[in-house]
A and B are shown apart, each in its own frame.
Chain A
Amino acid sequence: MKKRLIASALSVLMTVSLLTGCGGNANNQDSGESTEGKAAESKDESTKADNQEQKSDGNAEATKLSLWLTEQLHVEFYDEMEKLWNEQNPDKQIELEYTVLPYEDMHSKLLIALQAGTGAPDMADIELGKFSNFLKGDPQLVALNDVIEPYKGDMVQSRLDIYSKDGNYYGLDFHVGASMMYYNTELLEQADVDYTTIKTWDDYHEAGKKVLEKTGMPMTAVDTGDVFSFFPLLSQQGSGLLKEDGTNNIDSPEMVKALTFVQEMLNDGTAVISPGGSHHSEEYWGFMNGSQAVSVSMPMWYMNRFTDHMPDLSGKMVIAPNPVWTEGGDRSVGLGGTGTAVTVQSTHPELAAEFLAYAKLSVEGNIRLYTILGFDPLRPDVWEMDEVRNADTKFEKYFENPPFESLMEVKDEIPAIIVGENFPDVMNAMTTTILYRAFENMEDPAIICKEEAAMLK
């Protein structure tokens, strides 16, 4: 009798332990594994708790919409817009559920979920550098043409085009992403340089030599793992990463010229390589915060990195237009971008699309895109509004000049970049090998461009 009892208890134990393999997520370290919705929810970070407080009281009918993001900063914006939407649409209340994941992980997970046909959220923030991957084959995103229609005339058209395929718009962006130059005025004063006199890249280089001599600090830090600071050098020559036909534009005289210019600056010490390899690394923030470089060329959306991660520079930074190759050219360019999309797996696609359009394209949304996130919003009419020009946000307190001052100076000099199916691959090549070979290994740009272009489509 005893033996039988033990035997049956053991077999039950064995069967149960077999089943713990199903649905257990603790062992799922490899982010490449195919996910069901469970895995996504298990990675849900602190924001779920915040969201509970925002729930419209006593309204049990709020539709839950799930949203995957890569930037914790964006959650604040969505919270605000969710509140406004619920106030204005009492019959169509929503409740957003956020999942914030690291950049690569979120996009890979989303791709897998869309490929597998299950597990994807209602909406997701898909970054421009990855967006084309989601348009391959039959895009598993909902076309947003209908909800965009009422706002179309008020927007910067190019910010819609970069997320489109065959006439369908799939993503709504946060900003224009105008590239600007951020100067540390304290260091410039020590070197007796006036940033308003820097008009061309040669002026910039000369000023750099002066600053290096007087303060020992380089004019800028260049990335090997990111293209945002490098891009203006290309776009100002009328060039980009892709040609008009979508093939890569690596092997071009403009690319060689841009790479050579940076190499010259690296050679005489007016430029150094960003610690950590990119302006998004913690090493760089510490470096810049310690006033160890004078300037950096990044888009407007980089402002919140300054306010949030480089507090010691408060009151010492000014935003100015980029220098150019020859005076009279377009000084800025629209860089980066995150196209928020609605997936076909959403159970409430129309509601999600309507909310997204309201959040990103309405006047209230655009004002808050600036006041909360510090982005240059998609509607140029908002740029001129009082709420934006005379806003008193942390950005006004931080920067010496009102952020929109220089932006208004270049507002007609912001072309769009060419994107296509090939964009992620070319971006990957730039941020993994090309910039590294040019700036760390100091190889001959002509050779690098030839070799790398041959490996890409």
Chain B
Amino acid sequence: MQQIRIKKMFFSRKTVPYVFIFPFVLSFGLFFLYPVVSIVQMSFQSVLPGKVEFIGLENYRQLLNPTFFKAIKNSLLYMIIILAILIPVPMVLACIINSKKMVGKTLFKSALFIPALTSVVVAGTIFRLSFAETAGALANHIIGLFGMAPIKWLRNASTGFPVLIFLSFWRWIGINLLYFLSGLQSIPEEIYESADLDGAGAVKKFWYISRPMLQPITTYVLTITIYGGLSMFTESYMLWSGNKSPNDMGLTIVGYLYRTGWEQNNMGFGAAIGVFLLAVTLILNAVQLKISGRRENA
């Protein structure tokens, strides 16, 4: 009798939802909540084998150094440029690919998406070799055809950073393109037809129909790009084959975290950087959501 009652309770309508979300809650608590709490705690400590001591705000005070500011500058600059390129361009490309007059739609979709399937590690290494400073490297070979002398791509800040942007652009354009393409599918055909009847050209149609109706997708892409840009690490790490870009031209916030936290065994300091990144991203995204929320309601 008891067994049947327990069984009934367990499988009853009331408890089933909790049973289903239990795995998620467990992994959330274990892999997300616990590390965040632990990081905040570690950022106030000096963590060395055998000697974990509380040092208050010392880690945060040490954060105020030129290298960290450089890392912030690099990450912010990277994020802004990525936002400027990786939202308008895929949006326009998606509209072009989606238009009825487009030939070879699948070809272009696949060609633009395949880079996103490559491993960042492999892509970064290939880019590093392509942009090597020797005359025979791919990039130098191409500009050589135009009669230009070989450039030390990755050892000059003015060329190294653009190469980094190019790598990210090459890699992520496919993903954003896909997001916008799927967003475009949800716009009803009739709107475009009535715009045609009113005599709207392609540009007007894009600006007044596609763009506003893609607003929810754009908000989402904006959010993940802000986070992705600020926390970029692997591209920079692979492009300069390690965390040591000359004169820190490619150093990002997470790159600095990796250097001090892992390579220099200063985990408390690394934790402080992590907390900083979390705070900045949260604030930026909150502001961004508020602004776009206001626009949606307007």
Q: Choose from B51, B65, B242, B267 the contact partner of A138 (Cβ within 8 Å).
A: B51
Q: How far is the CB of B274 from chain A (nearest CB, A)?
A: 12
Q: Choose from B47, B134, B264 the contact partner of A275 (Cβ within 8 Å).
A: B134
| B58 contacts across to A, CB distance below 8 A | none
| B155 contacts across to A, CB distance below 8 A | 224, 277, 440
Q: With A108-B262, A111-B262 in contact, do A29 and B247 touch (Cβ < 8 Å)?
A: no
Question: Is the C-beta of B83 less than 8 angstroms from some C-beta in chain A?
Answer: no
Tally of chain A residues near chain B (CB < 8 A)? 36
Question: Is the C-beta of A165 less than 8 angstroms from some C-beta in chain B?
Answer: no
| B120 contacts across to A, CB distance below 8 A | 29
B49 and A115 contact, CB distance less than 8 A: yes
B55-71 interface code vs A (CB 8 A; 1 in, 0 out): 00000000001110000
| B23 contacts across to A, CB distance below 8 A | 18
Question: Is the C-beta of A407 less than 8 angstroms from some C-beta in chain B?
Answer: no
Question: Is the C-beta of B243 less than 8 angstroms from some C-beta in chain A?
Answer: yes
| A18 contacts across to B, CB distance below 8 A | 23
The dominant DSSP class at the B interface is mixed
B244 and A431 contact, CB distance less than 8 A: yes
Q: With A432-B248, A436-B247 in contact, do A137 and B50 touch (Cβ < 8 Å)?
A: yes
Q: How far is the CB of B256 from chain A (nearest CB, A)?
A: 12
B10-52 interface code vs A (CB 8 A; 1 in, 0 out): 0000000000000100000000000000000000000111110
Question: Is the C-beta of B196 less than 8 angstroms from some C-beta in chain A?
Answer: no
B265 and A115 contact, CB distance less than 8 A: yes
Q: With A29-B234, A32-B262, A283-B134 in contact, do A136 and B48 touch (Cβ < 8 Å)?
A: yes
Q: Choose from A29, A107, A133, A432 the contact partner of B119 (Cβ within 8 Å).
A: A29
A29 and B121 contact, CB distance less than 8 A: yes
| B49 contacts across to A, CB distance below 8 A | 114-115, 136-140
Question: In the complex, which residue of chain B has the Cβ closest to the Cβ of A133?
Answer: B265
Q: How far is the CA of A111 from the CA of B67 in the complex (A)?
A: 23
A133 and B244 contact, CB distance less than 8 A: no
Q: How far is the CB of B96 from chain A (nearest CB, A)?
A: 33
Question: In the complex, which residue of chain B has the Cβ closest to the Cβ of A108?
Answer: B262
Q: How far is the CA of A395 from the CA of B264 in the complex (A)?
A: 36
Q: How far is the CA of A428 from the CA of B248 in the complex (A)?
A: 11
| A431 contacts across to B, CB distance below 8 A | 244
Q: With A104-B242, A276-B133, A440-B246 in contact, do A112 and B51 touch (Cβ < 8 Å)?
A: no
15 chain-A/chain-B pairs, Cβ below 8 angstroms: A29-B120, A111-B265, A134-B265, A136-B48, A136-B49, A137-B51, A138-B48, A138-B50, A224-B246, A275-B133, A431-B244, A432-B244, A432-B245, A432-B247, A441-B247
4 closest residue pairs by CB, A with B: A137-B48, A138-B50, A137-B51, A133-B265
Where the two chains meet, the residues of B that have a C-beta atom closer than 8 Å to any C-beta of A are 23, 47-51, 65-67, 119-121, 132-134, 155-156, 233-234, 242-248, 258-259, 262-265, 267
| Additional pairs, 6, CB under 8 Å, beyond known A136-B49, A276-B132, A433-B247 | A112-B262, A115-B265, A134-B265, A136-B265, A224-B246, A283-B134
